[in-house]
Every structure is written in C-alpha cells, then in structure tokens.
Structure 1
C-alpha cells in the first residue's frame, strides 16, 4: 500500500480563497489517503507594515483575534479541534455571508466548540501570540513574502494556492490534486499563474 500523502495547509480564517481551497482539500480527503495538518497564518501579520483601507484593517484585526483563538486551541486541545474551529468560523464568515467583522462570531464559535473560557481569555491576553507568529512564519518562509493565503505543502514542498473558484468536486478535485502532487515532485518548479476572472463562488 502506498504511503499517505502529507498535506500541510496554512489558512487565515477571514480569507475566502483559503476557504475554498480548504473545501477542495476536504473533497480530496474523502477519496484519497492523505494526512492533513492544519496551520494558522495571518494576513494581519503579513500586511502589518503595509498601508490598507479601513475595511481591510478591520477584517485583519478580526482575523488576528480568530488566529489567537485557533493557536490556543491547537496548543492545548489538538489538531482535530483546529479543523473544527476553522469549519465553524468559515461557515459563519463565508457561507453565511456575515463577514469577519461580525463581533458575535467569536463567541458563537467558542460556545459551539465548548472552548474553556480560561483558554479564551489567555488567548485574548496574547499568551499564544509567539506560537501564532511562528506558525505564520513557518508557512510564509516556505513560499516567500510576495504571496498570501492559502499556503499548501505536499510532501514538504509548499506553494501559494491553488487559488480556485468554486472548489472543484469529484474527479475534477482529484485531477487537480494529482497535478499539485506532480508539480511538487519536480525540482525547480516554482510558479504557474493566470489572472483571476471571477470572485469567490461558495457552495
């Protein structure tokens, strides 16, 4: 039997493109023997020295708070809870169309996942911020500073993306995954890109 394909996925919960790529990975996981590890990264950290409009600033601020929570969950409650937190956040932010700045989302996710309030307060106080930044740096250093989220690594070889809309299903999802695995196996392959012609299309 072939070894499992190791997949590492770095996400910022507020990014719609990362959300759709994560749904593709979920689809692949239903049909292929892959081992996925979910990692937090941060558009707020990535852009902390850049000028931005107020809408992006507010979204990044909310995203940073979500990232603090996810990091605390990872460190004390484990990987399964990380995925559950991402799913719960993404459902509200993206599928329900509430956006990242809806202040109720944070508390709703805490309640849904039964996260201990002490852990929530420690996360808000910044106890896990160093680990949060370390996770972000780990992902971004694999691909360079001129990208965003998601970052996906296959068997240790990382790329920005794939950026997809909508998330492919069935055979289309598997063909794309096979292509990414093949590209990751070619030493010296770095980039394949075209301009996006559509926005996020959620299921």
Structure 2
C-alpha cells in the first residue's frame, strides 16, 4: 500500500504507442472506481528496439527515430519538475497524438509537444530537450526498471501491481480496445489482481483482430 492507503500501480509508457495509450486510459478509469494510485514512468520503444533496427520495416524504423524526442522531453520534465508531472503531460500529449489523430512528424513535433507542455502547466522551454540527450542516462534507467520487472520479450505498456505476497508482479498490457469504462474497467482490474496473485502465472494471449479504438475517449 502507498502511504495514503491506496494500491500502487506502476505504469511504464512510451507516448507514441497507441496500445499503451489505451491501457493508460483504462488505469485512469480504474482510479475512479477502485482505490488505486497510478505512478507513471517512461520507457522507450527506441531503446527497446535499438538492437533490432535492421530487422524492422523502414516505416517503423522512422517512427522509432521520431520517438526519441517525446520521451526525452518527458524524462526532462520528470527530472526537473518531479514525477507527478508525467501523468498530466502524458495525457496532454497523448490526447493530441491519439484521440485527435494529429500524429507526430518532424514538421509538427515541436508545436504539439509545446502545446502539451503548456496544457500540463510545464515550461514550454522543455521542448528544447527534443534534440538533447542530457537525460538519456535517466531515460535508460527508467526503461530498464520496467523491463527488468517483466522481461525482455514485451513492448509497451508495462504495469506492475501487488502480487500475493505484496511484492510487485509486472505484466505487458493488458492490451484492450476500446478502453473499458466504469464497471468493465473495474472487472478487468480485479482480474489483473487475481492473476497476479497466482504464483507461476505468466501469460494469457490471443491474436489482435482490431485496431486501437479511441471513440470513447
């Protein structure tokens, strides 16, 4: 339990991942119906795939190259203004990228990130970290913390929840579309805690047959 008596949920995200965005909106919905506290952390699809760049299609490679900037800004914001700013910044940025379908390109990234910083109450000067590696050590450490909890054969998001003995159990996912709301969100949360409480549980998976659906966000 956190000091405030709420159940802690650690959540690692890359702002560009649509599936992480769906899951992040689910845990925020769970905050409304269960006594949990989400603690946000940055991970990086670019770091995750940097030793596989010659194995991915060029279009995906370009996306990975573009993904460096937003996570660098997020980590700079965290380092300079505290971890509590990550949630609001992620929401402001993800809403633009995913819900509004603005995407990120080399031409619009500064504008979109600057607007998200302003909405989150952060200095717009942080946009300069799009092109700076000042906090790459901290970025890699945050990424490693999440991956070390769950293992190498995953992507984003990663969540860590209390297991049977109170220690953290981490999972990739849950991968959902559209984002569950209300009691459906609560049921999925309860199920997540249930499987986390079973020693030796590792995986449930099926092939995705739908794209991310942002229509209810």
Mapped contact 2:20–2:156 kept (Cα < 8 A): yes
**TM-score, reference length from structure 2:** 0.87
* RMSD between aligned residues: 1.9
Distance 2:8 2:118 in 1: 31
Equivalent runs, 1:22-171 vs 2, <5 Å:
22-50=24-52, 51-101=55-105, 102-103=108-109, 104-116=111-123, 119-121=126-128, 124-155=131-162, 156-171=168-183
More deviation in 98-107 or 62-71? 98-107
Greater Cα offset, 76-85 or 24-33:
76-85
Give, in angstroms, the shift of residue 47 of structure 1. 0.6
Q: Distance in 1 between matches of 2:191 and 2:5?
A: 18
Q: 2:124, 2:208 → 1: CA distance?
A: 41
| CA shift for structure 1 position 67 | 0.5
Aligned length: 203
DSSP 3-state at the match of 2:170: strand
Q: List gaps (5 residues or longer) in structure 2.
A: 163-167
Q: Is the 8 A contact 1:72 1:123 kept in 2?
A: no
Paired with 2:69 and 2:119, the residues of 1 have a C-alpha distance of 17
Kindly state the Cα deviation for residue 114 of structure 1 after the two structures are TM-superposed: 4.6
Rounded Cα–Cα distance in structure 2 between residues aligned with 1:119 and 1:18: 23
- When the two structures are superposed, what TM-score results if normalisation uses the length of structure 1? 0.92
Q: Take 2:205 and 2:161, find their aligned partners in 1: how far apart are those partners? A: 18
> For the Cα contact (< 8 Å) 1:13–1:89, is it kept in 2?
yes
Alpha-carbon contact 1:14-1:90 (below 8 Å) kept: yes
In 2, the alpha carbon distance for the partners of 1:125 and 1:93 equals: 21
**Structure 1: tracts of 5 or more residues without a match:** none
Change (3 A) 1:23 1:77: same
2:165 maps to what in 1?
none
SS in structure 2 of the partner of residue 39 of structure 1: strand
